[in-house]
């Protein structure tokens, strides 16, 4: 089993390495890839030193699986080249998510759709993953009609430079800026670039990806995504309208029994999900479950997850695990 990690020095790449170690992911050879300036440098993983290789060198080594966490342009250029060598690429960028010929996968929901013919597999957007994991069992039971979601997203979703901007501002240092405005003590209703319809690319990702993952283009969705000065994970206020009415106790039971979800819903004792306590955890946390009293068949919930873990690294590794266990000949 030859495994490659592209983008090994970035925030998500570093998290992938942690997840690989924690889950004891089986491999015989590991190839680490980073930007040209990092090639030749060494990184330690599980007590062993690895030399960072170039993209071209690793592509020619034809790994069995390659996890890409190096941005959309890199994925567009190199994922097909790896696929031509027989490598299965699990891509963390947005490059292939809406390509009708590529699967967009959250293993707990639609991992069973993967086949040996899938050579480029898209990892969904971080904010989409945590929402659909909570919505999927409810959609199966009650059928979603419309979803309204507002997000409160960690600076870690932008990367190391964004974290540095926030910490610089907090320390009173005039450093490099990633955002067009201060982020510390602020909230920016601006994630990714604005589109012609007035929504940001992040907001439209949530709309389009949710429909694709759940396999239902009839679901009405609207999204407002906001960057907030937190580092533990992303939070979402989700308002879900169903065609069929639900029982709140049954909703709690369904979510409690869903793999990858932890229900934290005891507001009388101040128990509800928070990004600070999702940090470093693979589960999606759901709470503040309550009926929307303004219209029928509608549920409010608060959904929190570590965007670098289940929102990126963990989901990618889970896809690779699923491939090894169910699809690939390599064991």
What is the mean pLDDT of the segment spanning 53-80?
A: 96
Query: Active site residue: 59, 126, 139, 181, which one?
Result: 126
| Model pLDDT, residue 331 | 47
Q: What is the pTM of this model?
A: 0.95
Give 241's strand partners. 146, 298
Q: Taking the mean position of all CA atoms in its chain, how far away is CA 27?
A: 23
Q: Homologous superfamily of 127-307 in CATH? A: Dihydrodipicolinate Reductase; domain 2 (3.30.360.10)
| Model pLDDT, residue 328 | 86
Give 188's strand partners. 227
What is the mean pLDDT of the segment spanning 158-180?
A: 97
- DSSP labels, 73-138: HHHHHHHHHHHHTTPEEEE-SSTTTT-TTSEE--HHHHGGG--TT--EEEPPPHHHHHHHHHHHHH
Domain ranges (residues) in the chain: 2-124+312-326, 127-307
27: which residues sit within 8 A by CB, 6+ positions away? 1, 2, 3, 20
Same fold, 2-124+312-326 and 127-307: no
Residue 329 has pLDDT above 70, yes or no: no
| Model pLDDT, residue 126 | 97
- Among this protein's residues, is 190 annotated catalytic? no
CATH number belonging to domain 2-124+312-326: 3.40.50.720
- Among this protein's residues, is 139 annotated catalytic? no
| Model pLDDT, residue 117 | 95
- 230-276 pLDDT, tens digit each: 998 999 999 999 999 999 999 999 999 999 999 999 999 999 999 99
What is the mean pLDDT of the segment spanning 181-209?
A: 98
Query: Active site residue: 59, 139, 181, 234, which one?
Result: 234
């Amino acid at each position: 089993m030859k495994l490659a990690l592209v983008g090994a020095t970035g925030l998500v790449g570093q998290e992938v390495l942690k997840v690989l170690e924690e889950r004891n992911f089986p491999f015989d050879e590991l190839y680490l890839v980073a930007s040209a300036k990092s090639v030749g440098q060494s990184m330690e993983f599980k007590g062993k030193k690895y030399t960072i290789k170039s993209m071209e060198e690793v592509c020619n080594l034809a790994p069995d699986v390659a996890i890409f966490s190096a941005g959309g342009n890199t994925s567009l250029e190199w994922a097909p080249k790896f696929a031509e060598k027989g490598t299965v690429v699990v891509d963390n960028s947005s490059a292939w998510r809406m390509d009708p010929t590529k699967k967009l996968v959250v293993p707990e929901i639609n991992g069973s759709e993967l086949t040996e013919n899938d050579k480029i597999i898209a990892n969904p957007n971080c904010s989409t993953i945590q929402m659909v994991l909570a919505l999927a069992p409810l959609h199966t039971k009650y059928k979603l009609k419309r979803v309204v979601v507002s997000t409160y997203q960690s600076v870690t979703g932008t990367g190391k430079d964004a974290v540095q901007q926030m910490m610089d501002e907090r320390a009173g240092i005039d450093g490099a800026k990633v955002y067009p405005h201060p982020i510390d003590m602020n909230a920016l209703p601006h994630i990714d670039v604005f589109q012609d319809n007035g929504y940001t690319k992040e907001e439209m990702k949530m709309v389009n990806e949710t429909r694709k993952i759940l396999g239902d283009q009839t679901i009405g969705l609207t999204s407002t995504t906001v960057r907030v000065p937190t580092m533990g994970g992303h939070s979402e206020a989700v308002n879900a309208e169903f065609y069929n009415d639900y029982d709140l106790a049954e909703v709690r039971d369904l979510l409690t029994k869903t793999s990858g979800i932890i229900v934290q819903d005891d507001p009388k004792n101040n128990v509800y999900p928070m990004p600070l306590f999702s940090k470093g955890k693979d589960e999606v946390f759901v709470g503040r479950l309550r009926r929307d009293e303004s219209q029928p068949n509608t549920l409010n919930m608060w959904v929190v997850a570590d965007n670098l873990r289940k929102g990126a690294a963990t989901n990618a590794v889970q896809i690779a695990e699923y491939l090894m266990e169910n699809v690939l000949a390599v064991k």
